[in-house]
Amino acid sequence: MRTKLIVGLCVLACLTLAWNIRTIFLHVPDEANQGAIFRILYFHVPSAMTSFTGFFVAMGFSLMYLVKKDLRYDSIAASITEVSLAFATITLVTGSIWGRIIWGVWWAWDARLTSYFICILIYSGYLMLRRAVDEPNQRARFSTVLSVLGCVDITIVWKSIEWFRTQHPGPVLSVRNGGGMAPGMEAPVYINLIPLLMLSLALILIRMRQEDLRHEVDSLRRYAHSF
Amino acid sequence: MNFLRNSLAITYKDLRSEIRGKDTINASLSFSLVILLLFSFAFDPDSDEVREISGGLLWLVFAFASSLILSRSFARELINDCLDALISSPISPAELFFGKAIANFVLLLVVELVCLPVFGIFYNVQWARQFPVLLLVVMLGTWGMTVIGTLFSAMTVNLRLREIMLPTLVYPFIIPVLLGAVQLSKVLIGGEPVGADNQVWFRLLVAFDVVFTLLAVAFADTVLVG
């Protein structure tokens, strides 16, 4: 059942992505000031949204572990965090490519970029800590603490564009104060979000299956050691 | 009130133990002086640029010094299973955590207050022109570092890779507090008052300290007991 769901999600994501890429490259005009490179926004912004969503959902599952003390919630939280970290890296890389063309540098120490980089470091620390702790319940508790503290940092990231107003472009999407794009240019951002979310869900399911197998191997190993 | 009294009992115990042994504070002070020396090879110590980067230099020294103090905070309780005895004693994990955080704060503040005049002498910087406000910034920044560091110190105390894991976890978290403290220290060491432009950094420091103190106290039980 889970395999069918994963395959279904991947197929749907590929079809939606292919249709949307056609729209982005053939129907959306070049941006007046930036030219063709602005199209990277259609992958940069949905990846950022996917990673943000993932980090907050992971925090929810971590807190559910604290309440229910069921390790399955911890496995889900860890899987979501790993996939979200991959999307956060995509956001940073696409942003860097855009910066090279528009600003002339691969990296600028702007508040938003720096905060996002900090965010990636924090969640890399989260994964390192998980590897360093052997006892599953202790690992889950520590992960919960890091997940909640990490989300506080993400809030700083999210608001920093308004607080600091540095080199990073101001809000672009019309849902945020001060933002605004032509409707025909804005819609593909949201449409691209759908396949990326489907893809991340498929990856999370694959990662969860690996976690289940790992738990099974651990149980078998403990069983073998008991003889 | 009981919370504070029990926390201060832990602080008193830690400080008395440190005054008797002086291991951590000596190591931390020596390490800070070595870093101050090494900085003099990285750039011209007599140039005017020093004032521009003074805030950053100082807070890098403080951050490195903090890692030594913080890593010893819970590790010193591992000998003779003292940590287990503390956890099973009639004080809550939050009180234990808070008491240790205050002790670390005091130790780090002492190291910082020794480093400040040494830095002024080595790099020919008149750092004390706005001393009361600078002291407030140092205290706010130091509390931000110690509250996060003490929580992670408790988290990593039993790990194989404790010495590696602690700075890896702590430094990314304290970057916002370092950012605010560096900006404000740079202005204050330059002898200027904190203007309206820099008020945002003060607010960031205070907000960071309040939010992370509350979170750390709330999670102390989860980290220490489960």
Residue-wise pLDDT for A193-223, tens only, equals 899 999 999 999 999 888 888 878 878 888 8
Is the pLDDT assigned to residue A182 strictly greater than 60? Answer: yes
In this complex, is the C-beta atom of A128 within 8 Å of any C-beta atom belonging to chain B?
yes
Complex-level ipTM beyond the 0.85 threshold: yes
**Residue B95 has which token pair?**
């009180």
State the total domains in chain B: 1
Indicate yes or no: CB of A145 within 8 angstroms of CB of B151. Answer: yes
- CA nearest to B141, candidates B104, B182, B199: B182
**Taking CB atoms and an 8 Å cutoff, what residues of chain B touch A118?**
172, 175-176
Indicate yes or no: CB of B219 within 8 angstroms of CB of A163. Answer: no
Whether A97 is in a domain gets the answer yes
What pLDDT does residue A37 have?
Answer: 83
**Taking CB atoms and an 8 Å cutoff, what residues of chain B touch A66?**
222
Whether A218 is in a domain gets the answer no
**Taking CB atoms and an 8 Å cutoff, what residues of chain A touch B212?**
149, 152
Alpha-carbon distance A137 to nearest alpha carbon in chain B (angstroms): 8
Per-residue pLDDT of chain B (226 residues; tens, 9 = 90+): 788 999 999 999 999 999 998 888 999 999 999 998 888 888 777 777 777 788 888 999 999 999 999 988 888 888 888 888 998 888 999 999 999 999 999 999 999 999 999 988 888 888 888 889 999 999 999 999 999 999 999 999 888 888 888 999 999 888 888 888 988 998 898 888 888 888 888 888 999 899 999 999 999 999 988 7
pTM of the predicted model over 0.90: no
**Taking CB atoms and an 8 Å cutoff, what residues of chain B touch A142?**
155, 223
What pLDDT does residue A20 have?
Answer: 87
In this complex, is the C-beta atom of A136 within 8 Å of any C-beta atom belonging to chain B?
no
What pLDDT does residue A167 have?
Answer: 60
**Residue B189 has which token pair?**
């060491």
What pLDDT does residue A60 have?
Answer: 95
Cα–Cα distance between B157 and A123 in angstroms, integer?
20
Longest dimension (CA), chain A: 73
Which candidate from B172, B219, B226 shows the least CB-CB separation from A122? B172
Cα–Cα distance between B220 and A6 in angstroms, integer?
39
Given pLDDT bands bounded at 50, 70 and 90, which one contains residue A145?
very high
In this complex, is the C-beta atom of B168 within 8 Å of any C-beta atom belonging to chain A?
yes
Tens of pLDDT, residue by residue over A18-68, are: 988 888 888 877 777 777 788 888 899 899 999 989 999 999 999 999 999
Other C-beta atoms within 10 Å of A223: how many? Answer: 9
Other C-beta atoms within 10 Å of A154: how many? Answer: 21
Indicate yes or no: CB of B226 within 8 angstroms of CB of A138. Answer: yes
State the total domains in chain A: 1
Evaluate the CA torsion angle B135, B22, B178, B146 in order and state its sign.
Answer: negative
Q: Which range of residues forms the domain containing residue A42? A: 2-212
Angle at A29 between CA A25 and CA A30, to 5 degrees: 95
**Taking CB atoms and an 8 Å cutoff, what residues of chain B touch A141?**
222-223, 226
Average pLDDT, chain A: 84
Q: Which range of residues forms the domain containing residue B147? A: 2-224
Alpha-carbon distance B45 to nearest alpha carbon in chain A (angstroms): 25
Indicate yes or no: CB of A145 within 8 angstroms of CB of B155. Answer: yes
In this complex, is the C-beta atom of B222 within 8 Å of any C-beta atom belonging to chain A?
yes
What pLDDT does residue B8 have?
Answer: 94
Whether A227 is in a domain gets the answer no
Return the residue of B nearest to A116 by Cα. Answer: B172
In this complex, is the C-beta atom of A219 within 8 Å of any C-beta atom belonging to chain B?
no
Burial, A72: exposed, middle or buried (Cβ in 10 Å; 0-12, 13-18, 19+)? middle
CATH of residue A39: 1.20.120
Given pLDDT bands bounded at 50, 70 and 90, which one contains residue A115?
confident
What pLDDT does residue B30 have?
Answer: 93
Whether A224 is in a domain gets the answer no
Whether A223 is in a domain gets the answer no
Please report the DSSP string for B50-117 in residue order.
Answer: HHHHHHHHHHHHHHHHHHHHHHHHHHTTTGGGHHHHHHHSSS-HHHHHHHHHHHHHHHHHHHHHHHHH
Is the pLDDT assigned to residue A100 strictly greater than 60? Answer: yes
Angle at A151 between CA B151 and CA A170, to 5 degrees: 135
CA distance readout (Å), B46 to B61, B186, B200: 19, 17, 31
Alpha-carbon distance B142 to nearest alpha carbon in chain A (angstroms): 18
Is the pLDDT assigned to residue A174 strictly greater than 80? Answer: no
Given pLDDT bands bounded at 50, 70 and 90, which one contains residue A116?
confident
In this complex, is the C-beta atom of A156 within 8 Å of any C-beta atom belonging to chain B?
yes
What pLDDT does residue A173 have?
Answer: 66
What pLDDT does residue B104 have?
Answer: 95
Helix H or strand E segment including A13: helix A2-22
Is the pLDDT assigned to residue A156 strictly greater than 70? Answer: no
